[in-house]
């Protein structure tokens, strides 16, 4: 009969190495609007804005949907795009690649993605140092009478 082996515990750095993007409902809503608005004229965006306002009014009557972050972000984005196209030349269509707000958001997200793994690695290294210090401290402590059975 063999005794079960204790699984090897990975370091905190290895466990946190995989980058996971946080879920942001507002950002998801803005991206969704930008995809749908691509190629729309000012009249198309105005119609979509009216639809978004209608759904916002409908949601305000429901307690669970009244504080919908994504819906509010979508409404705000439709309003911003409508203003952008109203200020442009007649017949202009929306292009997210030419939108300075979209480009600024993409640059900020790229910078955050680059910084996140560095921060996680720093935190993991600190945690590993604390774990090593804890292990050394436990080895250096003298057991009280009767603690031998607990340590074993």
* Structure tokens belonging to residue 71: 């819906």
Eight-state DSSP code of residue 96:
G
Question: Are 88 and 120 members of one domain?
Answer: no
Please tell me the predicted confidence (pLDDT) of residue 139: 64
Q: Which residues, 6 or more positions from 89, have their beta carbon under 8 angstroms from its beta carbon?
A: none
Give yes or no for a contact between 77 and 53, defined as CB atoms under 8 angstroms apart: no
Domain coverage including residue 117: 99-141
Pair (83, 132) in one structural domain: no
pLDDT value of residue 38: 94
* CA proximity to 33, closest of 77, 79, 83, 89: 77
pLDDT along the chain (152 residues), means of 10: 59 56 85 94 94 87 73 92 90 91 89 77 79 69 66 60
pLDDT in the model for residue 138: 60
User: Can you count the helices (H) and strands (E) in the chain?
Assistant: 6, 0
What is the predicted pLDDT for the residue at 58?
Answer: 85
Number of folded domains that form the chain: 2
Find tokens 């946080």 and name the residue. Answer: 22
- Residues 88, 106: one domain? no
pLDDT of residue 108: 87
pLDDT of amino acid 19: 52
Shared domain check, 129 and 87: no
Stated pTM of the model: 0.61
């Amino acid at each position: 009969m063999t005794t079960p082996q204790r699984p090897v515990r990975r370091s905190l750095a290895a466990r946190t190495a995989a980058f996971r993007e946080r879920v942001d409902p507002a950002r998801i809503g803005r991206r969704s609007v930008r995809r749908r608005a691509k190629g729309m004229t000012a009249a198309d965006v105005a119609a979509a804005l009216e639809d978004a306002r209608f759904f916002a009014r409908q949601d305000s009557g429901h307690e669970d949907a009244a504080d919908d972050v994504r819906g509010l972000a979508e409404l705000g984005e439709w309003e911003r795009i409508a203003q952008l196209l109203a200020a442009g030349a007649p017949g202009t269509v929306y292009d997210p690649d030419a939108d300075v707000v979209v480009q600024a958001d993409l640059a900020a997200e790229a910078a955050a993605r680059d910084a996140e793994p560095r921060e996680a690695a720093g935190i993991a290294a600190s945690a590993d140092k604390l774990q090593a210090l804890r292990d050394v401290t436990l080895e250096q402590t003298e057991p009280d009478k009767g603690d031998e059975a607990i340590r074993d």
